[in-house]
Structure 1
Amino acid sequence: MIERLAISDLVLADVSIPNGNVYYEVGIRHAAQKQGCIMTAATWSKALFDIDQMRQIRYPLPLESISDETAAEIIKIVQTAIPVMAAGDSPFYQVFPKFPEFDPLRATSLKKSLEELSNFQAEIIAARSATGDQRRTRALQLRDRYYTRGPIQKAVAIELLYTLRDCTDWKTTLEFLDELPADLKNSPLVKEQRALVLSKSGNHDDAIGALKELIGTSGDTSERRGLLGGRYKQKWKNITKDPADLSRAITEYENGMRLDLNDYYPSSNLARLYRTRGRKGDEDRARISASITLVASERARARNSNDEWLNPTYLGAAFDAGDVEKAHELADQVREDGPAVWKLDTTLDDCRTAAQLWEEPRRTELLDIVAQLEKVSVAEPKS
């Protein structure tokens, strides 16, 4: 396979399905030959990671049967694009046109850039670890130092975005998003986050429209379906009280859960929504979704995920699953780690709500654990 990839005149790589082997093989070809590698994908495909900056041939591919007319159209699209795209340099040779020769100054520049990114990352961690008003102050200082309303490294922009989102307010975050350069502003990740910020600012309908458009143009992911479910959930909870919006939220969270059972975000929202809706079979669905969240959270913890929302999601899932033993175990961990690590100030209400949805005696057992956690929260020294 490596020999074919390295010496063939032309390589067609279809990335419609997120298969890691194909990405690895494309990387081999990009480094082995300057030209002659073409990526193709169905218009609905979801990339395994961000390859939007790489040229691809997109073709329409129905999810059901493929007619002779559709097949002929796909063939025509690919055949027409081959002569043009095959002559283009691979991303590797665009960076190193004379590889294996390269300018030694590039290595020096790279080392300096990595040192600067490392220092920036340390400052980000310090800002996010701060408490009280210091979190906001440090986040704004980082924004003012590292973003001058001009070109900015994508990694820096994304870290600033997440830090502003979590440490300041929605208006500040939205202003930052809208000032980003066009290429960053139009990237799928930034569009996702902008939709979230719009919704948190109260503009649920625009956020729903933006997420649906993003799914239609850039593909489906568990994160996008989860975000869409969250917008319907907030609309139902805070504005309409319409059971139809509650069911829409459930449907989107379900879609996200099915796309990736290892992503605990969509499933973590389902148990309480099922029990609130109360349709026939919803109690069974609630238990299943809570169990999926527990397993996905445990897997992420075993892999040392750095998601700051993993711990609170894990704790909430124990209450959603009605797992008294697990809730006791995690309450002990909260006491050891401190409530800040478990975001107890934002998680306790969810745990209490989940506990109240159970029948006796489980309800009382879980509420007793909530009371214990409240004491831990109160005992935390305030800055």
Structure 2
Amino acid sequence: MFKPLCFMVMPYGRKATLAEPGKGPVEIDFNALWDKAYVPVIEALGYQPIRADQDTGALIITQMLERLYFADLVLADMTIANGNVYYEIGIRHAARRRGCVLLAADWSRQLFDLAQLRTVRYPLPEGAILDGTAVAIQAAIKDAIGSLEGGISPMHGAIPGYPTEVNESTAAGMKDQMAQLSEFQAEVRAVRAVPKAERMGRAQALVDAYSRGPMTGAVAIALMLMLRDCADKADDWNLVLKFIDGLNDELRSIAEVTEQRALALSYAGRHVDAIAALEALIATAGPTHERLGLLGGRYKRLFDAATTPGDKQKALARSIDNYERGMQLDLNEYYCSSNLPSLYRIRNRAGDEKLAQSVVQFVIAACERARRRGATDPWLRATLLVAAFDSGDADKAEALADEVESGDAAEWQLKSIIGSLTLSLSHVTDDAGRARLSAVIDRLRPA
């Protein structure tokens, strides 16, 4: 007699974790995790273990769908953000009412939608899966899998009667809601289309209109992001804060909302409050390069505002530390690394100039890679221009200045970066190069 089947959804081979240094291993041997931890538990629970890469032939999508549907139990390891794993979890949740259990290392953080779902956590101090670690993982997951395997999937739980007996009145009501949401999104697009000087007023009017009645979470988030994108002055950012603080507890607890609140606090001049909010978010939801970059930027603002040498030194050290942590999470992202060269030079310790020159090469490579991919980040070109100054590359700076003059200057954020270009110029020691870079600033300085 055949045992019930357990289909394991997980990466295989060695995979990088992108975990912050000191918060998780650099990579995981998922084959060892399967062999030494998952298989013994699955067998002890009375199932026959199987995963995709053990097929003798290529597992085409039809076969994968069949396994996800017919398996008596599906286990999914979400320790790293793997697109295939996330996709297969969604398929199983939609296909079967019960029998899908999510698992992840205790230090890992999941993307928002799945982060809301109950997940079995296990210890993973190293990626090689030593014997002691394998035993600890087995102890952490066995009973938890047994207790959760009968849980109802989110799809079946959210829609009564799904998939074949959905109440038609429920379906009609949802379609009405989506139609209303589409109309609302058209109003948001209209706000974005008006001249910049008029946007905040139009945005506030739209907020007032939708605040008169019940507001869905989707509408609240969209209004928050619209206000953020329209904000310019400190008073505008105070309006963003007022809106966020008026949301319910559930919405305010969403990581994205917390991030935007911290940003609004800082632009409203409340840097210390912004730092406290970001540090609390990172402690509970984990670091990302975006969160660490925001935190580094807030300490940088504290450095600019500090009036004593001691306060300046502390703020500078914390700014550098957070930007470095953010850079190490993903060297393909240039947000954190682009701020470091000038900060190293301000600190001016032995070896800092060498660090600045090293990091600026990462910044240039990441920016050029993003340009080749057609990235739409509005700060990409500005970052590349500042990096040319940070590296003292007058040829590159002049070539970029030609691009500015032959295209849309607004795309280069010149008003915001002139100060950064001037600061970078002050660290250039070559007289001829400094003169050429100074001439570029003169060309680019807004009238």
TM range (shorter): 0.7 to 0.9
Amino acid at match of 2:163: F
Q: Decide which moves more: 71-80 or 42-51.
A: 71-80
What is the rounded CA distance, in whole Å, between the counterparts of 2:69 and 2:163 in structure 1?
15
* 2:142 equivalent in structure 1: 79
* 2:216 equivalent in structure 1: 152
* 1:309 equivalent in structure 2: 379
Q: Decide which moves more: 233-242 or 111-120.
A: 111-120
Contact 1:44 1:217 in 2 (8 A): no
Give 1:265 shift: 1.0
Are residue 372 (structure 1) and residue 443 (structure 2) matched?
A: yes
* 1:141 equivalent in structure 2: 205
* 1:35 equivalent in structure 2: 98
What is the rounded CA distance, in whole Å, between the counterparts of 1:301 and 1:315 in structure 2?
13
Contact 1:231 1:249 in 2 (8 A): yes
Give 1:201 shift: 3.2
* 1:381 equivalent in structure 2: none
Are residue 206 (structure 1) and residue 273 (structure 2) matched?
A: yes
Who wins on radius of gyration, i.e. which is larger? 2
Task: Give SS of 1:98's match.
Answer: coil
In structure 2, relative to structure 1, the CA distance for the partners of 1:88 and 1:105 (3 Å cut) is same
Determine which of 213, 218, 227 is the counterpart of 1:164. Answer: 227
Alpha-carbon deviations, 1:234-261, whole Å to 9, x = none? Answer: 2222125432321221111011011012
Percent identical across equivalent pairs?
43
In structure 2, relative to structure 1, the CA distance for the partners of 1:48 and 1:201 (3 Å cut) is same
Amino acid at match of 2:207: R
Residues 125-274 of structure 1: pairs in structure 2 closer than 5 A? 125-127=192-194, 130-132=195-197, 134-148=198-212, 150-154=214-218, 156-168=219-231, 169-239=236-306, 241-274=311-344
Are residue 44 (structure 1) and residue 138 (structure 2) matched?
A: no
In structure 2, relative to structure 1, the CA distance for the partners of 1:187 and 1:137 (3 Å cut) is same
* 1:57 equivalent in structure 2: 120
Determine which of 274, 288, 312 is the counterpart of 2:358. Answer: 288
Contact 2:191 2:199 in 1 (8 A): no
* 2:39 equivalent in structure 1: none
TM-score, normalising length from structure 1?
0.86
What is the rounded CA distance, in whole Å, between the counterparts of 2:247 and 2:353 in structure 1?
45
Give 1:362 shift: 1.5
Determine which of 279, 299, 315 is the counterpart of 2:349. Answer: 279
Give 1:117 shift: 5.2
5+ long unaligned stretches in structure 2? 1-51, 53-63
* 2:3 equivalent in structure 1: none
Are residue 338 (structure 1) and residue 403 (structure 2) matched?
A: no
Are residue 357 (structure 1) and residue 427 (structure 2) matched?
A: yes
Contact 2:192 2:199 in 1 (8 A): no
5+ long unaligned stretches in structure 1? 379-383
Give 1:328 shift: 2.2
In structure 2, relative to structure 1, the CA distance for the partners of 1:65 and 1:197 (3 Å cut) is farther
Alpha-carbon deviations, 1:95-148, whole Å to 9, x = none? Answer: 454225654637844762563254144224215xx233x232223223223444
Contact 2:217 2:251 in 1 (8 A): no
What is the rounded CA distance, in whole Å, between the counterparts of 2:354 and 2:367 in structure 1?
20
What is the rounded CA distance, in whole Å, between the counterparts of 2:423 and 2:132 in structure 1?
55
Give 1:191 shift: 1.2
In structure 2, relative to structure 1, the CA distance for the partners of 1:68 and 1:191 (3 Å cut) is farther
Give 1:270 shift: 0.7
> How many equivalent residue pairs?
372
In structure 2, relative to structure 1, the CA distance for the partners of 1:171 and 1:340 (3 Å cut) is same
Contact 2:394 2:433 in 1 (8 A): yes
What is the rounded CA distance, in whole Å, between the counterparts of 1:58 and 1:206 in structure 2?
32
Cα RMSD, aligned residues only: 2.9
In structure 2, relative to structure 1, the CA distance for the partners of 1:136 and 1:60 (3 Å cut) is same
What is the rounded CA distance, in whole Å, between the counterparts of 1:166 and 1:10 in structure 2?
45
Contact 1:20 1:48 in 2 (8 A): no
Amino acid at match of 1:262: N
Alpha-carbon deviations, 1:159-180, whole Å to 9, x = none? Answer: 4323323433221111111111
